Structure 1
């Protein structure tokens, strides 16, 4: 079928039929709906809302609102503050209930794969070609795209995730390149980041034409992601496991990009979508009872295989791109979920997964290791999660009017003791680092290559200390209230200042510690405020360190209101929530 045929058809999408518009019948999203960025309904059977009555009228009004919002977005395209168009995950209940397909197939022209072959490498290659046909038109890259994708791998990724340096003997970061090549949804998510940071790297003034390019890339990313979230009613997520992982990776990429450019209005929507996908992936493992979440996680990893055979004769295997992407994206998701709980004063949504995915078992490394992704050891984030739970319990008791301070202290004491014990042990481990791990030959390859050689695993112990001291401050506020002048609070604030100014290098690593930096700054006494301003001001250009700028903005607001009447009832969640949206300092 000629995609651009505009002859009226009775087989077009239900959206065009309801709107009485011409439809080109292109699947999975027709040109008309794609151009307007509205939901394209292409079900085989007539939807229940096409009843000729109230439901149909309600749907027609809803589509009119979508068209209106889309056109309003087009008018605002050149506006500086609209760097990120609001992303809507249409039909959130469907996202939580139905399977996800990155490569929705035309039911009239394609056959569903046999369940036994759905996740084979051959099927994945077929899916990638389909995705290219439906989403990007072809698999070839423009020269500009090649430059931007390379820029992302060589510069943006080490900047955003300086501690993510998986061994090349285990595939390194090659999975990202593979997914950028094979997955349109990942590629577009990557390109919008690269366009933004590339314009900053060139020192181009933030004029309308520069932002127009960034906006176009971002809108393309959202469009592709929206297409990727179209569902097939008869599908099972097990048939589209690899596509679901690519979508999860893309959502987390876009989340990080929006946070970097200080666009927080979509954080909650991104987080909710990623949480729903993650749960569906684990539920899809079809493990036999009794099974824990760790086994389900391992089962998904297994289904995303097999590992790539590099040297068959020597039995050398590396994880598949989807296996590496799932592990990396899951780490970011659990991390974001925990930090979000400190703002919402609610239990982390993935709390039930913490013990099995973040704790060591029988001396083995946990399935998810935050230290290798964000530079902070698991035990700190686990304690932050426990404190968020304690805060949730405290708020519930206060609302019910039955808060018992003795009970609160009793619940908090084990958390504090454990944090202090871990900090002491961490200090001992730093004094006696033990034997070095790694490949001497690989170190020889790195001679003369110093661009990222300082980034550092060696710094993770110091970074973990910053997080631990901030976590103790967080616990202090939950238990004892807002007391910047207390000896204990002063001690932890001073330790964080010392670590950030004298011990952690390079200073740009602060970008991985914005939450603890902000916690300490909010609790700083007037004499210490200049230290926090100096630490933030030293990171230039400020446009590259957007989250640090946001943290300083939160601190300045607290400092301006130090003598406010509600000072005694203040808590950290209130400081963060004063910004309006879910502010994720990640």
Structure 2
């Protein structure tokens, strides 16, 4: 570190003075090289911000007193400005007409921000006005068995150029222009936030109001599992959505469902036990009994709801819970029986059709009707398309995605999973092409389609220099930048997936090597480690990781990111991909050693192992029969 923390945040040169550099002394903050304790506390950050502002103001006041003995400005300048002053107004310290104001500090950029209200234009302020900082405080009380158990308070701070509502007090504008400019510059460097659209999706539950109480009824023995799920598991479910929505997923999606959906609740308690088993040293027999008890309870509640044939949205919510939540935890070696994910999705797809979600989303954009994407349709699209690539089948709603491509519609995938909708829809087209190839499509026709889809992917390719660091100067995630980087990773993986369909595909092809290197370069701009987003990139890692050569940079990149994840790299989707990739690499390495560069099918490897991806589970007889019972119930 060659700069103190303050100068690194402000991206300024540091003179590294002792005991404090000039910048820290000017702002009145401690000159330290590590992240200060007050930075992680919202209240202390606000207090520190005010102290800095007062310090700048005091410094400017001292400078004015020192300048009092200097000759006044040129008479012609004063006369010119005085003539332009409205005669009906008297000088005020809050206007630029005050005689004691230091005019040498006025800049063209700062001038419009301090004009008096009487001479402001009637149209909305232009973009050169300063940003407004908005704090949104959301509190949620969780009651277990009517007993207050946990209160969550989330303070989200972001900036906007939209002016505050009428009646807003302008007392925040300091009389000294230089003070205000210094303060705003400091504020934008220290506290940069992107605007957040908290109403992006049409959620299955109404958003909770502030100080909302969520009442969750559970047995005494399950309280610890519920707390474990809320504190440790819930943040693993939708990491990209959390980054985009400032961690509002738990309060807006998960907690309301826990309080109103019994099947959803039992599934979450089962997933909590599975996560405990994967991460903590707990007796296996005891935890397995808990997992199976709640899995059976979740299935029983789901069957009862299906028999009643009502509240389909809630049934769909629980079904997606069983697909995604259990996919987020658990180890490959876990032997507890479970239902394959695609059997769950078959039931979910029928419910999606009954709710007419595909028709709704297509009709909305065809009529130019501005509406929020249904959250359940976004989940459906995500699972359907990536799941189809796992099975070598066409996506269930491929026609809907084709309509969305043609009409440039959106399913909300960029907000949910971080990848632009167009790239995911093109992956759907590639999955359809692979399904036709497996059915015996002519090679020449196949190559024509590959060429056409390759051009389509090229239109979505990020421009030069668009992939940059996703971190702001303060170390926080820039959600928009993160989405651009994740989209680039999926784009390269989609192109690799498409190339693998060409007859005679070889991993040693220079174009393939170039794609692998480009993918590794993009991964360098996506946060890694426990707080990173590797677990959201399982599909791209699988597509690219199954075709590279041993001399490629991919393996070093992958091993390094596994090391940064630590124990978390051994369970959940990342752990499953890691084990599958190892088996694929063994075959690749042995072929290369023999001078062969044939392509190794990861799908054949998982089939030989008896793994059922997404969940990579070995279905057992008792739960397979239960799945058959559920499907028969739906058909009846």
TM range, smaller chain = 0.5 to 0.7
1:230: which partner in 2? Answer: 303
Where do 1:47-196 residues align within 5 Å?
140-141=217-218, 145-146=222-223, 148-165=225-242, 167=245, 173-196=251-274
1:380: which partner in 2? Answer: 423
**8 Å CA contact retained: 1:470, 1:520:** yes
1:574: which partner in 2? Answer: 604
- Structure 1-normalised TM-score? 0.57
**8 Å CA contact retained: 1:342, 1:573:** no
Q: What are the superposed Cα offsets for residues 391-426 of structure 1, whole Å, 9 maximum, x if unpaired?
A: 1212222xxxxx54332221111210111220135x
- 1:421 maps onto 2:451 in alignment: no
In 2: Cα distance, 1:266 partner to 1:350 partner: 29
In 1: Cα distance, 2:574 partner to 2:268 partner: 22
**8 Å CA contact retained: 2:516, 2:548:** yes
Change (3 A) 1:360 1:268: farther
In 2: Cα distance, 1:389 partner to 1:243 partner: 30
In 2: Cα distance, 1:545 partner to 1:354 partner: 32
Change (3 A) 1:242 1:524: closer
The DSSP-based 3-state class of the residue aligned with 2:460 is helix
The DSSP-based 3-state class of the residue aligned with 1:568 is coil
In 2: Cα distance, 1:384 partner to 1:521 partner: 17
Where do 1:180-329 residues align within 5 Å?
180-198=258-276, 204-205=280-281, 207=282, 209=283, 211-230=284-303, 235=308, 237=309, 239-257=310-328, 269-284=340-355, 292=359, 294=361, 327-329=374-376
Q: What are the superposed Cα offsets for residues 103-131 of structure 1, whole Å, 9 maximum, x if unpaired?
A: xxxxxxxxxxxxxxxxxx9xxxxxxxxxx
Return the match for 2:558 from 519, 532, 545: 532
Change (3 A) 1:465 1:246: closer
Q: Decide which structure has greater helix share.
A: 1
- Cα displacement (A) at 1:268: 6.7
1:340: which partner in 2? Answer: 387
Q: What are the superposed Cα offsets for residues 206-233 of structure 1, whole Å, 9 maximum, x if unpaired?
A: x5x2x33432332132222221233589
- 1:561 maps onto 2:587 in alignment: yes
- Cα displacement (A) at 1:334: 2.6
- Cα displacement (A) at 1:478: 0.3
Select the structure with the greater relative contact order (CA < 8 A; seq sep ≥ 6).
1
- Cα displacement (A) at 1:521: 1.7
Gaps of 5+ in 1: 1-120, 122-137, 299-318, 398-402, 434-442
In 2: Cα distance, 1:380 partner to 1:348 partner: 15
1:503: which partner in 2? Answer: 525
- Cα displacement (A) at 1:253: 4.2
- Cα displacement (A) at 1:456: 3.6
- Cα displacement (A) at 1:547: 2.7
Change (3 A) 1:200 1:394: closer
Change (3 A) 1:213 1:233: closer
In 2: Cα distance, 1:265 partner to 1:144 partner: 21
Change (3 A) 1:140 1:546: closer
- Cα displacement (A) at 1:160: 3.2
- 1:484 maps onto 2:507 in alignment: yes
Gaps of 5+ in 2: 1-204, 206-214, 366-370, 617-636
- Cα displacement (A) at 1:582: 2.2
- Cα displacement (A) at 1:523: 1.3
Between the two proteins, the alignment pairs up a number of residues equal to 389
Where do 1:378-457 residues align within 5 Å?
378-397=421-440, 404-425=442-463, 454=477, 456-457=479-480
In 1: Cα distance, 2:330 partner to 2:461 partner: 30
Change (3 A) 1:404 1:296: closer
The DSSP-based 3-state class of the residue aligned with 1:230 is helix
In 2: Cα distance, 1:267 partner to 1:232 partner: 20
- Cα displacement (A) at 1:486: 0.8
Return the match for 1:462 from 485, 491, 494: 485
Moved more, 153-162 or 374-383: 153-162
- Cα displacement (A) at 1:190: 1.3
- Cα displacement (A) at 1:343: 2.9
In 1: Cα distance, 2:335 partner to 2:416 partner: 22
In 2: Cα distance, 1:540 partner to 1:392 partner: 37
Task: Report the RMSD for the aligned CA atoms in angstroms.
Answer: 4.2
- Cα displacement (A) at 1:329: 4.2
